[in-house]
Structure 1
């Protein structure tokens, strides 16, 4: 046998043994035999570098150093999931689904919600191309070198896999491996890690992949993304398993939400028997075509819901109530607690939300309070142990002035929170707006973080976000922890942000109630900042999905001379204050004022492309048929009840070709 054949044979053997051990949990050779074969392969590869293979099992030992993790835009956005906590929540969700689909039969698939670090793996020609963290859902960090060290992640696939696709899952640390890591840390005189989830997430960002390889990380995969020609989610799990992925086998098909609750109730008790952490159940519509028809909200898929297990609870003493000021001036009361261990982390602080919540629970300093993690992430106070209340306890009097600038607080009618009205003079509001401006979903300025913003403000180098564009390298080099390379990166990052598109700039301005989705709507409607600035309240509320509160907030923002001056300064510095020619190129008003519902399967363009065509031409896409619907674009396999409803309401049904003729 020649050397190349020998190397390939060893690689195939080791891949098979790797899969048997780490994915199937059914080893067929001893660890010693595996190590001997791996050593033999390493020696042959060292002697014959001409036969290098990026998917070789020898590369799993790590060794590559990553100084800076490249930011990668996801081909398909990684959405969050809406949460439910009761059978009623699930039933309401099912009603919303049926309303959109038109009362057709819906099958659900239940899977455990694994508590780890989300990852998106891209495969091309059967080989791992890259691994990217979730990041903000739109883009994440390229951690491929570290992912390659996780032995349950296949570097090379088998079977009838697509030419290119993404698969999503969680990088986790099993209980046993986590316990062993902490044992070794304690023996070495180091602090133990607090919980598996954070440790797994931190491991992905280690610069030395050899260190990652030493950690017993695992990868559980659960979602094929993009068009892979598979009819159901359950079938996609089986396919992924056959290609070599570690796909958990505890998924269950359910016909009703009663069956879903049986699954939830079983795992709420038995989850502690699992080798890894779970914090709930994910319920999905099984049919891929129904998933496509249901689509997404601004933040989450309509076809999936996370059912969270009951949160852990602990009792501790509330030492002091303090107040934080947000970038909009909103005041948040904070409970400073006697540290308590809760769901794997030490909790020292919890949000008290607002004055009404404090009054409702009659929360007082020195009380013993019950703390819960909402969805096992954010701590909150859910009650007071009145039996332990001290006799000299006094009722909490909510703050009347701003803790930062001493301005008298205001509370608008109908709003829960108090606000500091000192918009242009309150330091946390100013730095908060700048921090929002530079954030990933906004201007995404590389090399600039919250601490540096605070430092630049403290040193008097910036007073607002427009001042960032006047910064010079010589001004920032003397700052604490700022070397020449860091200063270079900061200035380059600011310069590069001038290319950020208008809709994200609009979001970055920090206008109250103008989130990402609203910013896109306004940018699309008004095309440039001057047209938006000139719009009055009556015109704004005429824009689809722009309500009174948003309209009032936009008018108020541009009614302040200082804000107008900021916008003008940003524009003069080269920041994008209008939609690009490319974005405008495909946009028309042909369908303005017309509402469409898209249903069924299409041949010439995908459902998402159809929706985009509608929106690009000024139309509105609705999720369900109503008297306000003008047209139903009907494809193959349209739900019979939807068709019936359209006919009953006398709504015109057009096919794909008729719609394409319209645009």
Structure 2
């Protein structure tokens, strides 16, 4: 195994006096730049007003170079050559010069102290998809992952690293200079948090060494445990609420409107993937190269020869979990060889060359004070234990899931029992066992919905309200879902407004949206004529939705945007979808026996049918043309950037409809790269390298027209 640097001694809160500020050998390395401010001695400076502008600019340039070097030594190499006091002197001097001489530099280290507040975050498309990762806490499933990789690509080595419990981001560098940072979002696009991430000291403003002209990297923002504890103590001392855990603190911090607030909070970052701009033969080569460019990586990463070594790594890290200065909830295993990764490929949501081996959940004990039953949007009844508050893994928990009636019976849990809690994935608390039984028997699950009184129907261990869309508990969530972005995207129908409309009696079912009393809405608190007009207009605009959007909107179980699009393409009309036999549903790629059964049960429900018929009195879902042809047979398209006429998904569906293939990456087998606005640089570079023609949207439209295909917005 490669020898790793020990970072554990850095970032400690301690005395900044001269005899403790610098715990390292202060000898300047031979490869350090020739710069007067690299030396460990504290410099002396002439008054700023005694300098000419040219002298000030030269000194500022030297200070920026020195500060970047010292940042790299501290955050990446974990081997600083100066102490905090000297560093602060250099930093303060640079700030003084920039202010006195109005010296502006977009990549200056001083920009980390914050910037102008933002009103909201723009949405930005990722350079490449930021996928999720398959995971399990079972060793057998980890071995199945490795066996599959070996069957498809031969024996593999793995790179193992901690699975961080933080916030994932994409960071982009152009010509070595920090350009932007974007949250993961839905994996395709996220929030532009460039100004906030700029304040994180461990993320370099400028890369080091021989870096690529364009680089997009994926990292994990986190708040170190010791820094989190100290920061929480400060918050409580000044009367602010404490954060529940480091991840919540990180997520809340990075979405602050004011970068100056972010700069005050102790965020840090590890990088672990390249999304574009650099390709490596192995994952380990990437791990060792990123620090050469100034990007910090985690020093716990290891390369192992086989899956047994990966499992040993995970078990050893589990034993040391509480000794780390950051939260982790497992380990990530990645196939080391790049060619093997490309051969294994990805699914729609996750790479097939990586797997997360999760840690067992933490556990604590407390007393059950009551048990309530929540009714979800799908009608599923979930029992919830109301608890004496207890801290579990840094989170104060006052309620926990009991999952289902069968688990209640199996655990034998009732009110007043002392129970052991666990947190699944270190996130969702649930009751794991009864430690001391103080109740008589166990909680009897209701046979009628606590909200609408409809009968409760059992499906194996699960329980469901049979009231369907007519149940009020399901209705509020159903309306919110109906109006959500992935569904009909009706602006103005969020949780608060839907609650107001229901409390006022203006909505009693989904169809009531289309007969909403505009004047009555204006009388609600916080509403006026303009906002009421906007809401009604937004609802009116949803009367002729796309078929796939409508399928998502009505809440068919297991039908998200991708499955809805597949259903729409396969059947063409809403009537055809809701009448489709189970075997025809199962025949669609991606819809198995279980999902097909869920879809059929939804449409066979009398309560759901009444609501749907009511909706169809007001809504006419557009039919999708399922006619196919072979005009584009044999051609392979890749799409990048934003098209003005349709979404990339619709464009892919269109060419596939006429016999073409639509893939996600450019290769020598690609016939055309269609580039809309803000195309991904990696795809355009790959197209140029493989002599693949690049079509703008107009050229794509003309190509389709030449083949008798109409390109309609």
TM-score, structure 2 as length reference = 0.75
Contact 2:222 2:267 survives alignment (8 Å): yes
Q: Would the alpha carbon gap of residues 41 and 499 (structure 1) be closer, same or farther in structure 2, given more than 3 Å must change?
A: farther
Question: 1:405 corresponds to which residue?
Answer: 452
Give the C-alpha shift of residue 268 in structure 1.
1.4
SS in 1 for 2:320: helix
Among candidates 502, 507, 510, match of residue 555 of structure 2: 510
Among candidates 132, 139, 144, match of residue 87 of structure 1: 139
Q: Would the alpha carbon gap of residues 420 and 577 (structure 1) be closer, same or farther in structure 2, given more than 3 Å must change?
A: farther
Q: In structure 1, how many angstroms separate the alpha carbons of the residues matched to 2:190 and 2:501? A: 27
Q: In structure 1, how many angstroms separate the alpha carbons of the residues matched to 2:297 and 2:340? A: 23
Answer yes or no: is 1:395 the counterpart of 2:442: yes
Question: 1:603 corresponds to which residue?
Answer: 668
Q: In structure 2, how many angstroms separate the alpha carbons of the residues matched to 1:129 and 1:578? A: 42
Question: 1:69 corresponds to which residue?
Answer: 121
Answer yes or no: is 1:20 the counterpart of 2:68: no
Contact 2:379 2:464 survives alignment (8 Å): yes
Give matches, 1:198-277, under 5 Å: 198-226=248-276, 228-277=278-327
Q: In structure 1, how many angstroms separate the alpha carbons of the residues matched to 2:540 and 2:263? A: 38
Q: Would the alpha carbon gap of residues 571 and 226 (structure 1) be closer, same or farther in structure 2, given more than 3 Å must change?
A: farther
- Cα deviation code 1:574-600 (max 9, x no counterpart): x897796745531336489xxx9x9x9
Give the C-alpha shift of residue 510 in structure 1.
0.9
Give matches, 1:566-645, under 5 Å: 566-567=615-616, 569-571=618-620, 582=651, 585-588=654-657, 590=659, 603-605=668-670
Q: In structure 1, how many angstroms separate the alpha carbons of the residues matched to 2:158 and 2:525? A: 55
Question: 1:382 corresponds to which residue?
Answer: 432
Give the C-alpha shift of residue 269 in structure 1.
1.8
Among candidates 449, 462, 472, match of residue 427 of structure 1: 472
SS in 2 for 1:21: helix
Give the C-alpha shift of residue 489 in structure 1.
8.3
Q: Show structure 2 runs of 5+ residues with no match.
A: 1-53, 627-645, 674-713
SS in 2 for 1:183: helix
Give the C-alpha shift of residue 312 in structure 1.
1.2
Q: In structure 2, how many angstroms separate the alpha carbons of the residues matched to 1:179 and 1:284? A: 32
Q: Would the alpha carbon gap of residues 334 and 45 (structure 1) be closer, same or farther in structure 2, given more than 3 Å must change?
A: same
Question: 2:495 corresponds to which residue?
Answer: 450
Between 1:4-13 and 1:246-255, the stretch displaced more is 4-13
Q: Would the alpha carbon gap of residues 283 and 6 (structure 1) be closer, same or farther in structure 2, given more than 3 Å must change?
A: same
Q: Would the alpha carbon gap of residues 472 and 110 (structure 1) be closer, same or farther in structure 2, given more than 3 Å must change?
A: farther
Question: 1:42 corresponds to which residue?
Answer: 95
Q: In structure 1, how many angstroms separate the alpha carbons of the residues matched to 2:210 and 2:92? A: 31
Contact 2:76 2:291 survives alignment (8 Å): no
SS in 1 for 2:457: coil
Give the C-alpha shift of residue 204 in structure 1.
0.7
Give the C-alpha shift of residue 246 in structure 1.
0.9
Contact 2:77 2:291 survives alignment (8 Å): no
Question: 2:190 corresponds to which residue?
Answer: 140
Give the C-alpha shift of residue 448 in structure 1.
4.4
Question: 1:546 corresponds to which residue?
Answer: 591
Q: In structure 1, how many angstroms separate the alpha carbons of the residues matched to 2:454 and 2:399? A: 25
Q: In structure 2, how many angstroms separate the alpha carbons of the residues matched to 1:130 and 1:195? A: 27
Give the C-alpha shift of residue 89 in structure 1.
2.6
Q: Would the alpha carbon gap of residues 113 and 463 (structure 1) be closer, same or farther in structure 2, given more than 3 Å must change?
A: same
Q: In structure 2, how many angstroms separate the alpha carbons of the residues matched to 1:524 and 1:360? A: 44
Between 1:365-374 and 1:453-462, the stretch displaced more is 453-462
Give matches, 1:283-432, under 5 Å: 283-385=333-435, 388-390=436-438, 393-412=440-459, 415-432=460-477
Q: Show structure 1 runs of 5+ residues with no match.
A: 610-663
Question: 1:118 corresponds to which residue?
Answer: 168
Give the C-alpha shift of residue 106 in structure 1.
0.9
Q: In structure 2, how many angstroms separate the alpha carbons of the residues matched to 1:446 and 1:211? A: 30
Contact 2:214 2:277 survives alignment (8 Å): no
Question: 1:624 corresponds to which residue?
Answer: none
Q: Would the alpha carbon gap of residues 262 and 35 (structure 1) be closer, same or farther in structure 2, given more than 3 Å must change?
A: same
Give the C-alpha shift of residue 490 in structure 1.
6.4
Q: Would the alpha carbon gap of residues 33 and 506 (structure 1) be closer, same or farther in structure 2, given more than 3 Å must change?
A: same
- Cα deviation code 1:298-336 (max 9, x no counterpart): 433222221222221111111222111111111111111
Contact 1:558 1:564 survives alignment (8 Å): no
Q: In structure 1, how many angstroms separate the alpha carbons of the residues matched to 2:337 and 2:536? A: 49
Give the C-alpha shift of residue 482 in structure 1.
5.5
SS in 2 for 1:410: strand
Q: In structure 1, how many angstroms separate the alpha carbons of the residues matched to 2:271 and 2:532? A: 40
Contact 1:133 1:140 survives alignment (8 Å): yes
Q: Would the alpha carbon gap of residues 327 and 86 (structure 1) be closer, same or farther in structure 2, given more than 3 Å must change?
A: closer
TM-score, structure 1 as length reference = 0.81
Count, aligned residues: 594
RMSD: 3.4
Q: Would the alpha carbon gap of residues 518 and 276 (structure 1) be closer, same or farther in structure 2, given more than 3 Å must change?
A: same
Contact 2:569 2:625 survives alignment (8 Å): no
- Cα deviation code 1:597-635 (max 9, x no counterpart): x9x9952339x99xxxxxxxxxxxxxxxxxxxxxxxxxx
